């Protein structure tokens, strides 16, 4: 069974976008995964196809209505659908490689790409939406965030990466940033490839790479080295 992704959005024409090229696009064409972008407006019930309203209590912007979004979720994900339901949101739990791997091991995912000031809190609780953030910043909508999440997940699906070992040695795979990479020419603008990488000594190479990964992580992301809890 292929990995099945459904995105609920006000702009289904944005998909597949970058997910239609490179590794994700090839896997999509080969049926390794499937992508359905569904228009939230299809679940609106008035003649204007309204999906939002002003915030209760006042304030700027508009909020996606609970009744419309819930109907869109129910139409895309019936009660027997066990896929996680995600809401891309800057207030959500930060996405990390561990969560990406968990999602890749499942049957698929339903993603709500929010817009405006957000979605009615009641539908988050009523439809068990897991809020997920891709960073401490705000986008115009959840579509780009959904694409980033799906790209991260799809590349981990079996057969997508040409070398399955690639995913085991990159940043965050073991809690560290990735070590520096080099290739030909051996010397470029007076800068040489580190001698150890040309030694053929696999144990020395592995030790060097581990030490470099730890050095970079300590310098750039010391938070990753803090013990859990």
List, in sequence order, every beta strand (DSSP E) within 41-199.
52-53, 63-64, 85-94, 108-113, 130-133, 187-188, 191-192
Tens of pLDDT, residues 59-90 = 999 999 999 999 999 999 999 999 999 999 99
pTM of structure: 0.91
Tens of pLDDT, residues 128-185 = 999 999 999 999 999 999 999 999 999 999 999 976 656 565 668 788 999 999 999 9
Coil/strand/helix, residue 9: strand
Q: What is the CATH code for 169-225?
A: 1.10.1270.20
Q: Any idea which fold 3-154 has?
A: Alpha/beta knot (3.40.1280)
d(CA 215, CA 154): 30
d(CA 225, CA 229): 12
* CA atoms within 13 Å, Cβ hemisphere of 187: 2
Domain ranges of the chain: 3-154, 169-225
Residue 191 burial by Cβ neighbours in a 10 Å radius (0-12, 13-18, 19+): exposed
């Amino acid at each position: 069974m292929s990995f099945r992704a459904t995105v609920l959005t006000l702009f289904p024409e944005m998909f597949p976008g970058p997910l239609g090229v490179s590794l994700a696009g090839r896997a999509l064409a080969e049926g390794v995964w499937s992508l359905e972008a569904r228009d939230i407006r299809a679940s609106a019930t008035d003649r204007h196809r309204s999906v939002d309203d002003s915030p209760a209590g006042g304030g700027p912007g508009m909020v996606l209505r609970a009744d419309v979004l819930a109907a869109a979720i129910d139409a895309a994900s019936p009660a027997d659908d066990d896929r996680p339901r995600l809401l891309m949101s800057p207030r959500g739990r930060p996405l990390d490689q561990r969560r990406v791997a968990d999602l890749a091991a499942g049957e698929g995912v339903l993603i709500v790409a929010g817009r405006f000031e957000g979605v009615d809190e009641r539908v988050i609780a009523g439809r068990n939406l897991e809020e997920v953030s891709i960073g401490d910043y705000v986008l115009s909508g959840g579509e780009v965030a959904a694409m980033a999440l799906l790209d991260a997940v799809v590349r981990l699906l079996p057969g997508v990466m040409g070398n399955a070992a690639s995913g085991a040695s990159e940043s965050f795979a073991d809690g560290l940033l990735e070590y520096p990479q080099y290739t030909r020419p051996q010397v470029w603008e007076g800068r040489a490839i580190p001698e150890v990488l040309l030694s053929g000594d696999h144990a020395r190479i592995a030790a060097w790479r581990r030490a470099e990964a730890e050095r970079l992580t300590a310098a750039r992301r010391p938070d990753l080295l803090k013990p859990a809890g």
